[in-house]
Amino acid sequence: MYSAIMSTQERLVQSTQELLWERGYVGTSPKAILERAGVGQGSMYHHFTGKSDLALAAIRRTAEGMKETAETCLGGPGTSYERVAAYLLRERRVLRGCPIGRMTQDRDVVQNRELRQPLDEMFDWLQGRITEVLAEGQRRGELAAGLDPAAIAATVAAVVQGGYVLARAADDTAPFDAAVRGALSLLAAQVTPGASAQPAAG
């Protein structure tokens, strides 16, 4: 599964990322991690103090990856509407759920301050970044002056996370797609006349 030149530590982190997404924290046993990574038990404890330490490295890695992906959209070209739309419409494995959002539903992670910190930081960053994009759009005259960037940013984040939950419950991506279309139509209504943004097709 992994490249022969990939370090043992890297294989352990990647395996843990995948298993946490698939099974959650409780369902991710050290044995499963070692089997997925194809390494021995001694290798795991050479690099990490235990499951919690390895899970923390994996969660941090996942959060950083999500930031990079989001920034590609939010920091890209176009109007503020187009950049937020790019984030909402980017390709996702919807039925697997959000790898970070799923951790917030894991009691063992949420109750562990250290494991929870990367989750809180990721969501705080995301809402702050979307707020910046929307506020920039207001300053440029692309969006209505009465729009509340922070409130809309919170709505966008909630639409994505709620969309994942509804899609997984229905075993169908349609609820996620509908939520995204709804959010974009509401945001498009705040686009000022002459700004080059049209509601995106779902």
Instruction: Tell me how far apart the alpha carbons of residues 76 and 84 are, in angstroms, rounded to a whole number.
Output: 10
- What value, to the nearest 5°, has the Cα angle with vertex 147 and ends 142 and 150? 110
**Average of per-residue pLDDT values in the chain:** 91
pLDDT tens, residue by residue, 41-70: 888 888 898 899 999 999 999 999 999 999
| CB 33 within 8 Å of CB 19 | yes
| CB 92 within 8 Å of CB 102 | no
Q: How far, rounded to the nearest angstrom, does the alpha carbon of residue 187 sit from its chain's CA centroid?
A: 21
Q: Give the confidence band of 197 by pLDDT, cuts at 50, 70, 90.
A: very low
In the numeric block, which tokens belong to residue 156? 């966008």
Q: Give the confidence band of 6 by pLDDT, cuts at 50, 70, 90.
A: confident
Structure confidence at residue 200 (pLDDT): 43
The angle, 0 to 180 degrees and rounded to 10, between the axes of the packed helices 30-37 and 8-23 is 120
Residue range 36-43: mean pLDDT, rounded: 87
DSSP H stretches of helix in 48-148: 51-74, 80-89, 101-104, 107-110, 113-139
| CB 168 within 8 Å of CB 95 | yes
What is the CB neighbour count within 10 angstroms for residue 158? 13
| CB 140 within 8 Å of CB 80 | yes
Task: Give the least confident one: 20-29, 56-65, 149-158, 178-187.
Answer: 20-29
